[in-house]
């Protein structure tokens, strides 16, 4: 924890906060906490998810003949590469939300900006390391441990610190850690019907999904998550609640923020990132 705290104190990174945070942390206190921990800014990954959706939409629309596998989950990417190398080329050539948000932030706030990714799974650490595009990645459990450790170094958390997200965010993609999220939020009307999509949330279901894709050319898009209970089911999330309760916390947060974000100037617009490189270097 000492090393991690030193990294934050020295670099004052931009914290990239995963959309599953409402399961384990309260809004807006989490923002104050991250700023108290010396993060210069705190942004939601929801903007990157929106940018990725647009890329997915265009890709699937322009290549209706292709079968594609979502490449947002690093465990699934590695599994396909190792177990089904013949399908490696079907992985979406678009980088994951973590990488896209880090690329965007580094350009937006200056090339020397460091990023700290906060997410509920360990697999993202591997992706961060292998791509070299995120400076530090920690799980929710590690963030909790860091908070406890930091409390032993300082007196108390200053909740008076600014407690609003910095630019940029998006509302519809707040449900990104849940099943059907990509398919639901990428505006797939006129592109994909329900029966052309396979969604799974357990690595053990992956083989079956691949088999179905191989035998049915009508299947065009696989959104495979490796954790049982989607991105909120991983053991590195702190909450022990069942997956429906966790999912409801995310939907409640989305609802709570809807009106507030509607006309906010901090809302992320697609055109802010027209210059962004979406290349996926992890596949
Ligand atoms: S499904 Fe699990 S391993 Fe994959 S991105 Fe989500 S939390 Fe990480």
**Token pair 């322009």 in the structure block, residue:** 62
Report the separation in Å between the CA atom of 232 and the middle of ligand 1, taken as the mean of its atom positions.
Answer: 8
Q: Which of 254, 279, 262 is nearest to 44 (CA)?
A: 254
What pLDDT is stored for residue 159 in this prediction? 61
From CA 149, how far away is CA 6, in angstroms rounded?
Answer: 12
Output the CA 126–ligand 1 centroid distance in Å: 12
* Residue 271 falls inside a structural domain: no
pLDDT tens figures, 75-87: 999 999 999 999 9
CA distance 232 to 236: 9
Determine the 3-state secondary structure of 68 from DSSP: strand
> What distance in Å separates the CA atoms of residue 67 and residue 214, rounded to the nearest whole number?
9
Residues 6+ apart with CB under 8 A from 128: 98, 117, 134, 136, 137
Domain hosting residue 203, numbered range: 2-262
Asked if residue 88 is part of any domain, the answer here is yes
Closest ligand 1 atom number to CA of residue 75: 3
pLDDT band at 177 (very low <50, low <70, confident <90, very high): very high
Q: In the predicted model, what is the mean pLDDT of residues 114-120?
A: 95
Nearest atom, ligand 1, residue 230 CA: 1
Give the least confident one: 91-105, 192-206, 255-269: 255-269
Burial class (CB in 10 A: 0-12, 13-18, 19+), 160: exposed
pLDDT band for position 261 (cuts 50, 70, 90): confident
Q: Is 119 helix (H, G, I), strand (E, B) or coil?
A: strand
Shortest-distance Cα residue to atom 2 of ligand 1: 227
Closest CA to 180 of 117, 225, 239: 225
Residue 281 lies in a domain: no
Q: Could you identify the atom of ligand 1 that is nearest to the CA of residue 76?
A: 4
Given the CA of residue 20, which atom of ligand 1 is nearest to it?
Answer: 7
Amino acid 25: pLDDT: 96
Please give the average per-residue pLDDT across 7-11, as a whole number: 94
- Which protein residue's CA is at the shortest distance from atom 6 of ligand 1? 231
Most confident of 33-37, 178-182, 253-257: 253-257
More confident residue, 159 or 245: 245
Q: Is the pLDDT of residue 204 over 80?
A: yes
Q: 253 CB contacts (<8 Å, ≥6 apart)?
A: 22, 27, 174
**Position 279 in a domain:** no
The DSSP element (H or E) to which 243 belongs, if any, is helix 243-262
CA-proximal residue: ligand 1, atom 7 (nearest)? 231
Q: Establish if 270 belongs to a structural domain.
A: no
Rounded to the nearest 5 degrees, what angle is found at the Cα of 78, between the Cα atoms of 188 and 91? 30
The answer to whether position 46 is within a domain reads yes
The closest alpha carbon to 278, from 70, 140, 103, 161, belongs to: 103
Per the domain annotation, does 18 fall within a domain? yes
Q: Which of 251, 229, 231, 254 is nearest to 242 (CA)?
A: 229
3-state secondary structure of 91: strand
The neighbour count for residue 276, using CB atoms within 10 Å, is 17
CA 196 / ligand 1 centre spacing (Å): 23
Domain count across the chain:
1
pLDDT of 137 strictly over 80: yes
Ligand 1 centroid distance, CA of 141 (Å): 15
Which residues form ligand 1's pocket by a CB distance below 6 Å? 73, 75, 120-121, 123-124, 225-227, 231, 234
Q: Is residue 225 part of a domain?
A: yes
Percent of the chain topping pLDDT 90:
76
Buried b (16+ CB within 10 A) or exposed e, 161-197: eebebbbbbbbbbbbbbbbebbbbbbebeebbeeebb
Which helix (H) or strand (E) segment holds residue 221: the answer is strand 221-224
Give the strand order in the sheet containing 221-224: 68-69, 221-224, 197-200
Q: Which residue, judged by its Cα, is nearest atom 5 of ligand 1?
A: 73
């Amino acid at each position: 924890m000492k090393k991690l705290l030193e990294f934050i104190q020295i670099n004052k990174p931009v914290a990239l906060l995963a959309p599953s945070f409402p399961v384990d942390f309260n809004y807006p206190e989490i923002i104050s906490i991250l700023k108290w921990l010396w993060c210069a800014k705190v942004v939601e990954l929801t903007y990157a998810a929106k940018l990725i959706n647009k890329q997915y939409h265009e890709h699937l629309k322009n290549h209706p003949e292709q079968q594609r596998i979502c490449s947002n989950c690093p465990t699934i990417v590695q599994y396909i590469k190792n177990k089904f190398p013949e399908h490696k080329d079907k992985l979406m050539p678009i980088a994951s939300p973590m990488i896209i948000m880090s690329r965007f932030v580094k350009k937006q706030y200056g090339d020397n900006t460091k990023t700290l990714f906060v997410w509920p799974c360990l697999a993202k650490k591997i992706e961060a390391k292998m791509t070299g595009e995120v400076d530090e990645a920690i799980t929710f459990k590690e963030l909790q441990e860091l908070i406890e450790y930091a409390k032993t170094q300082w007196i108390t958390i200053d909740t008076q610190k600014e407690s609003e997200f910095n630019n940029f965010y998006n509302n519809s993609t707040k449900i990104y850690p849940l099943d059907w999220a990509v398919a639901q939020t990428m505006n797939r009307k006129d592109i994909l019907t329900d029966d052309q999509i396979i969604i799974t949330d357990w690595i053990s279901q992956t083989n079956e999904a691949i088999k179905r894709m191989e035998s049915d050319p009508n299947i065009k898009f696989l959104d495979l998550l490796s954790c049982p209970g989607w991105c909120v089911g991983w053991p590195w999330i702190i909450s022990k609640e069942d997956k429906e309760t966790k999912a409801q916390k995310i939907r409640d947060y989305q609802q709570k923020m809807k009106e507030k974000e509607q006309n906010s100037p901090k809302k992320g617009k697609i055109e802010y990132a027209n210059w962004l490189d979406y290349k996926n270097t992890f596949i």
